[in-house]
Structure 1
C-alpha cells in the first residue's frame, strides 16, 4: 500500500481527493491536514510515503512544507497540487524537493498516477506548465525590489515599508521607481499585477 497524506485548507477539495483516492486499491489516505503546520505534524506522526500538499495554505505554504519534509522526513515524497501554477512556483517547488507538480484541474485519475510514479522514484511535472516554464520571462527585479514591491501591495505608506526593511524613505522610493521603470508600467498597482501574473511574488 502507498500511504498518503493530504494537505489542503479547503475541506471540500481535501475530502473529495480522499474519496477519489479511496477508489485506488493500492492507495491509502492515512492523514489529512487543513494547513501547512498541521501537515508537517501529521507527516511526522503517520510517516506517509507520499504527501499531496496544496501550494497556498495558511501557517506554512506548500513550498515551506516541502522543504521541511525534505529535512525531517526525507523518505516522504511530496506532490504539489495547485490551482495557481506559474513557472516560478514550479522552479521553487522542484528546488525545495517536490517530486510532482500537478494543477487542480487535472483529470480524475491523474493524481493517483502521479502518486504511483513518485512513490516508484520518478517525477512528474504537468506538461503545459513545463512548457510555460521554458518560455517564461525571467524576473528583472532584484530580491530587494521584490521585497519592497511585496510590502507595497496594500498601498502601504513608504515610511512603513522603510521601517520594515530598515531602509530610508528615499531608498524605498528609489526601489519602487526602479520596479515601475523595469516593468515598463506607470504605477505600483500595474507592477504588482505583472509580478503576481508571472509568479514572482
Structure 2
C-alpha cells in the first residue's frame, strides 16, 4: 500500500480527494491537514510515502512544506495539486523538491497515477505546464521577490525596509532592479506581472 497524506485548506476538496483516493486498491489515505503547519506536523508523525498538497495554504505554503520535507523526510515524495496553472509555480515547486505537479481540473485517475509514479521514483508533471516552464525563466532573485511581495499591498519603502530589516536605499535598489527586469512602469505593475507569472 502507498500511504498518502493530504493537505488542503478547503474542507470539501479535502474530503473529495480523500474519498476518491480511498477507492484505489493500492492507496491508503492516512491523514488530512487543513494548513501547511498541520501538514508538516502530520508528515513528521505519520511518515507517509506521498504528500499531496495545494500551493496556497494557511500558515505554511505547500512549497514551504515541500522544502521542509526534502530536508527532513526525503523518502516522503510531494505532489502539488493546485489551481495555479503557471509555469513559475511549477519551476519553484520542482526547485524545492516536489516530484509531481497537477492542476485541480485533472481527472481523479490522473492523480492516482501521479501518486504511483512519484512513489516509484518518477515525476508526474502537467505536460502543458512542463513545456511552458522551460521557456519562461524567472529573472528575480529571492530578495527581489521578498521586496516585491511586501510592495504588492501598497506598503511604503520605509515599511518594507522595516519589515525586511533592510535600509530604505537597499529596498529602492531591489525594487528598481525588479521593475527593470520585468519591464514594468512601477512597483505595482512589477508585482502584478510577477504574480501572474507565478514568480511570487
- State the TM-score, normalizing by the size of structure 2: 0.90
| Contact kept? 2:88, 2:138, Cα under 8 Å | no
1:152 to 1:47, Cα distance in 2 relative to 1, 3 A: same
Match for residue 93 of structure 2? 93
Partners in 2 of 1:45 and 1:175 — Cα distance?
40
SS of the aligned residue for 1:98 comes to: coil
Question: How much does 1:65 deviate?
Answer: 1.0
Partners in 1 of 2:177 and 2:67 — Cα distance?
32
Partners in 2 of 1:191 and 1:179 — Cα distance?
7
Match for residue 24 of structure 1? 24
Match for residue 200 of structure 1? 199
Instruction: Name which of structure 1's ranges 7-16 and 92-101 shifts more when overlaid on structure 2.
Output: 92-101
Instruction: Name which of structure 1's ranges 42-51 and 159-168 shifts more when overlaid on structure 2.
Output: 159-168
Match for residue 46 of structure 1? 46
Question: How much does 1:26 deviate?
Answer: 1.3
Question: How much does 1:164 deviate?
Answer: 2.5
Match for residue 57 of structure 2? 57
Question: How much does 1:122 deviate?
Answer: 1.5
Partners in 1 of 2:142 and 2:41 — Cα distance?
31
- Runs of at least 5 residues in structure 2 that lack an aligned partner in the other structure: none
Question: How much does 1:147 deviate?
Answer: 2.5
- State the TM-score, normalizing by the size of structure 1: 0.90
Q: Deviations over 1:158-182 (max 9, x none)?
A: 2111223344434433443443344
Partners in 2 of 1:18 and 1:116 — Cα distance?
16
- Runs of at least 5 residues in structure 1 that lack an aligned partner in the other structure: none
Look at both structures and tell me which one has the larger radius of gyration over its CA atoms: 1
1:171 to 1:8, Cα distance in 2 relative to 1, 3 A: same
